[in-house]
Chain A
Amino acid sequence: EAGVTQSPTHLIKTRGQQVTLRCSPISGHTSVYWYQQALGLGLQFLLWYDEGEERNRGNFPPRFSGRQFPNYSSELNVNALELEDSALYLCASSFGQGAFYEQYFGPGTRLTVT
């Protein structure tokens, strides 16, 4: 069974540009979570989608947004990129809604903003 997949693997953007990251969950998983792993800041929760709706967001500005499609895949959009957005963006999926379900992570997208 395929795991969580993310694309692209690496991305280099210029400050002020916009970027879209993509995530495909494990088949049968309906919840998708996005996390940011920036140097020195650890892993921070960004967004949570379940059944096509945004269920919760972390302490990030509105220029971080996303959506979940009917097939449960998800996009993370970041507008007006800033240098501090440089990070590894990890997507995770879980079978259902609830703390009980472990989250399985993809390989991440490494974003560099210059």
Chain B
Amino acid sequence: AQKVTQAQTEISVVEKEDVTLDCVYETRDTTYYLFWYKQPPSGELVFLIRRNSFDEQNEISGRYSWNFQKSTSSFNFTITASQVVDSAVYFCALSEAGGAGSYQLTFGKGTKLSVIP
């Protein structure tokens, strides 16, 4: 069965600090997709990134970067020079491509990030 673990329940940082959100996953599929979503106080989940299991290249998008390591089953998310607007709950999620063809997302419990001005 697939599983996503976000061990950090809450993190507080001072504005402009860098912060890394950890995500560890479990799956038996060889083909799968990993996602990060942001949930601001308004409640709507905002898609941030998708990564497939065959692409271990790190990705950078502005202040955001993602580190995917299959050897440790981790897909960590780093925010550089954090801003108050980054305050939100961040979810890591997994979708398996094989099996019975069920493509729902399995989410971690989320990490609540608070950026203090």
Chain A residues with a Cβ under 8 A of chain B:
31, 33, 35, 42-45, 48, 55-56, 58, 88, 90, 92, 94, 97-108, 110
List 25 A–B pairs whose Cβ atoms lie within 8 Å, in order of A's numbering.
A33-B104, A42-B108, A42-B109, A43-B91, A43-B107, A44-B107, A45-B105, A45-B106, A48-B103, A48-B104, A55-B102, A88-B43, A94-B103, A97-B101, A99-B95, A99-B96, A100-B50, A100-B52, A100-B97, A101-B103, A103-B47, A105-B37, A105-B47, A106-B44, A110-B43
A105 to B46, CA, bound (A): 7
Query: Which one of B32, B45, B96, B110 lies within 8 Å of A42 (CB-CB)?
Result: B110
Nearest residue, chain A, Cβ from B109: A42
Q: Which of B9-61 contact A (CB under 8 A)?
A: 31-33, 35, 37, 42-47, 50, 52
Given contacts A99-B95, A100-B97, contact A42 B47 (CB under 8 A): no
**A99-B95, A100-B97 known; A45 vs B109 contact (CB < 8 Å):** no
Contact code string B74-117 (vs A, CB < 8 Å = 1, else 0): 00000000000000000100011100111111111110000000
Which of A33, A88, A105 has the most chain B CB within a 10 Å cutoff?
A105
**Assembled-state Cα–Cα distance A90/B110 (Å):** 15
- Using a CB–CB cutoff of 8 Å, the interface residues on chain B facing chain A are 31-33, 35, 37, 42-47, 50, 52, 91, 95-97, 100-110
In the complex, residue of chain B having the shortest beta-carbon distance to the beta carbon of A103: B105
Beyond the given A97-B101, A99-B103, please list 12 additional residue pairs across the A-B interface where CB-CB is below 8 A.
Answer: A33-B105, A35-B105, A55-B102, A58-B104, A90-B43, A98-B97, A99-B95, A100-B97, A101-B103, A104-B47, A107-B42, A107-B43
CA of A18 to CA of B25 in the docked complex: distance in angstroms? 36
Tell me the interface secondary structure of chain A in the complex: strand
The residues of B that contact A101 with a CB separation of less than 8 Å are: 103
In Å, the complex CA distance between A98 and B31 comes to 11
The smallest C-beta distance from B47 to any residue of chain A, in angstroms, reads 5
Residues of B within 8 A of A110 (CB): 43
Q: Which residues does chain A contribute within 8 Å of B105, judged by CB atoms?
A: 33, 35, 43, 45, 92, 103
